[in-house]
Amino acid sequence: MAVKSLVLTGYGINCEMETAYANRLAGADATIAHINDVIDGKYKLEDYQILNFPGGFSYGDDLGSGKAFANKVLYAKTPKGPIMDDIRKFIDDGKLIIGICNGFQILVKMGLLPAFDKDYRAQTTTVFYNDKGFRDAWVNLKVNPASQCIFTKGIEKMYLPIRHGEGKFIPGDKAILDRLWKNGHVVMQYADESYKPSMEFPMNPNGSVDSIAGICDETGRVFGLMPHPEAFNHIVNHPHYTRMADEYRRKGKVMPEESDGIKVWRNAVAYAKEKLA
């Protein structure tokens, strides 16, 4: 079975091309669709196994990053009924959802993350203004081994780019934060060069509580993160690529072409082939 992946776009989402490309590199048949075409029924969620909310600046971040787009999805109706019914069925059917940067903000403000007790409407966390303004950089990420996230299976650490002004992850209160950790919702944290989680700037680029960079729901199949895995889809994307290439050449070794970012979708595609065929 060919794994089919739907990549949303529209209203300021601007990373749909890279996201679709990463899906295709991982073996998925990716389709880019405007959110209005999904709402109107031109594209049906039931035909896909992976749903992608890419990065961008939807609605110019008016009302707060991701809020307007989240509300559009929350209250939209397809020809069959509320689109949230389709999204809930998508999740109940064992399928996969990923939100990146603005997509993560959208998922959080829709209530799809962390979705305690499978309540996919209640917002319990938020993503707020960075402590030190907009940040465009690369970050080290430590993956939580206790997380059930399908997308990061077998991954211990990552090095990915970030580019956001509203990436500070904040839980509603300490009880929510404790539950995020206890139940394995925390997927990854910003870290130093030794991949030890750090609250210090610039390792933690936005001041996120507990350096949290990404979370998942209790199924491990709905995942959101602020860093951009789709922007590191080949080793040549690495900021130190030329130096690394020289080092590999001097050592007489072949530099691997596989990047950290593409592993996220390879995991998703492998899961879909095994579980959703």
pLDDT at 226: 99
Catalytic residues: 101, 228, 230
From the centroid of its chain, how far is CA 123? 17
Q: Which two tokens stand for residue 43?
A: 């594209």
Pairing of strands 157-164, 135-143: antiparallel
pTM of the model: 0.97
> Rounded distance, CA 223 to CA 152, Å?
9
pLDDT at 109: 98
Say whether pLDDT at 216 is over 90. Answer: yes
Q: Which of 84, 98, 91, 168 is nearest to 133 (CA)?
A: 168
pLDDT at 230: 98
pLDDT at 277: 73
- Which is higher by pLDDT, 258 or 265? 265
pLDDT at 258: 87
> Rounded distance, CA 253 to CA 247, Å?
9
Domains of the chain by range and CATH?
A: 4-129+212-275 (3.40.50.880)
- Which residues lie below 8 Å from residue 17, measured CB to CB, with a gap of 6+? 32
